[in-house]
Amino acid sequence: MTKKKTPDPKTPIETESAEERVEETFAEAVASILSVLVIGLFILTFLGQNYVIPSGSMEKTLLVGDHLVVDRITLAPPTKWMPLVHSREPQRGDIVVFIKPVPDPDAEGNPQYLTLVKRLIGVPGDHIHLRNGIVILNGVAQNQPHAQPTTPENQTEFLDEFPSEPPPSIDQVPDSWSMVDFPKSLENGDLVVPPGKYFMMGDNRHNSLDSRYWGFVPRGNIVGRPLFNYWSFVTPEEQYEKPGIGNSVAWLGHIALHFFTETRWNRTLHRVR
């Protein structure tokens, strides 16, 4: 009787159904990359958007150098083709990303509309005025701990007694901002927010060019609301105003060298509210 040979455990055992190695073709690789790009573009275009804070008008809520993920769905007008998507109207207290309602006059021949972020103070029908920097909304003084308080050092008649004080002369306002008056919206000393419009202010009340300067924001100009801060880097306020490719390259080099030491780690994934 022939003794059955026991296979050596160290020797690989071949099977009759060995899997054949399948290599991805060039066309399939390109299709995969394009699929990822299309999905990413869809998310960034319709669902979310990246936004960088370029100025200190929302300090201390938002800092220069904060990088935000903006929700473009919740405040979007409801649509019939996406009935399951949650949407709502903008509400008082929301931090909102929107398109400035008047163009930048510096861009002659090709007007540019800046994208801004401010806090929504008044909705259609609201009666608003400020007394000593305190927002009086429909006759009730608002407790707004996020707002910069008015002190004897920073008190400004036009900003803190709005709209009872006349606006400053145009030479006191940066050239890239337009002044607006509100004669049609005044009622017994209050500013009345018209239908389909919203009144916005920065939390850094004395360093914010907002609706007090350029007027109401139409509903269609609202882009979305910031969800969270995915990265924050210590950035001088004038950095985003410097033109030229050389400055951009130098700034990227600065980020690479100081990424770990100047990243605000305590603000990473910080919820915006």
Read off the pLDDT of residues 15-53 as tens digits, 9 standing for 90 and up.
Answer: 444 445 556 676 656 566 655 555 444 445 445 578 899
Taking residues 55-69, what's their average pLDDT? 93
Q: Which residue has the higher pLDDT, 79 or 247?
A: 247
Taking residues 105-126, what's their average pLDDT? 83
pLDDT at res. 243: 80
Q: Which residues of 94-112 are buried (b: 16+ CB within 10 A; e: fewer)?
A: bbbbbebbeebeeeeeeee
Q: Which residue has the higher pLDDT, 113 or 24?
A: 113
Q: Which residue has the higher pLDDT, 209 or 169?
A: 209
Distance separating the N- and C-terminal Cα atoms of the chain: 84
pLDDT at res. 260: 92
Residue 193 binned pLDDT confidence (cut-offs 50, 70, 90): very high
Taking residues 86-101, what's their average pLDDT? 92
pLDDT at res. 27: 65
**Range name among 19-33, 42-56, 97-111, 235-249 with the lowest pLDDT average:** 19-33
Mean of per-residue pLDDT scores for the chain: 81
Q: Which residue has the tokens 């305590």?
A: 266
pLDDT at res. 13: 44
Residue 273 binned pLDDT confidence (cut-offs 50, 70, 90): confident
Q: Which residue has the higher pLDDT, 90 or 3?
A: 90
pLDDT at res. 205: 94
pLDDT at res. 248: 87
pLDDT at res. 15: 45
Domain limits of the chain? 63-271
Taking residues 132-143, what's their average pLDDT? 95
Residue 73 binned pLDDT confidence (cut-offs 50, 70, 90): confident
| CATH entry 2.10.109.10 includes domain 63-271 | yes
pLDDT at residue 106 is higher than 90:
no
User: Radius of gyration over alpha carbons of the chain, in Å?
Assistant: 27
Structural contact between residues 41 and 52, judged by C-beta atoms closer than 8 angstroms: no
pLDDT at res. 238: 87
